Amino acid sequence: MLVYIMVMSGPDDGLVLKLQQPINPDNNVAVFSIGRRETCDVCIAFDTSVSRLHARLLISEDKKILLTDEDSRNGTFIGRQRIKEPTFIQAGELFRVGNTWLRIQSIEKD
């Protein structure tokens, strides 16, 4: 699965990240981690309000996107709404981790 995510704020504003993960055959999703930790798929090192492991994106074979907060201190938001439970989002929708806004540009099967 190929996913393109655009950073919409901060010093990396406008940067498009190309992420690739295989679909897990056990649950038919690709999982992408978001956080400050260098090992995260989306590393947001410049934003100290982002937790080391802040959130995850789970993307199914049929391109449905589930955003989960990983008990972060400063929350994960879709638009202005803080999410507490895993929540479906659409490609193109803005979401925020810490103080950083992100948007999924597109999803492609590889």
End-to-end CA distance of the chain: 5
pLDDT in tens, 46-104: 999 999 999 999 999 999 999 999 999 999 999 999 999 999 999 999 999 999 999 99
Give the C-alpha separation, 102 to 22, whole Å. Answer: 22
Render pLDDT for 3-49 as a digit per residue (tens, 0 to 9): 999 999 989 999 999 999 999 999 999 999 999 999 999 999 999 99
CA 104, 94, 33, 65 torsion: positive or negative?
Answer: negative
Q: Is the predicted pLDDT of residue 110 greater than 80, yes or no?
A: no
> Which residue bears the tokens 């190309």?
18
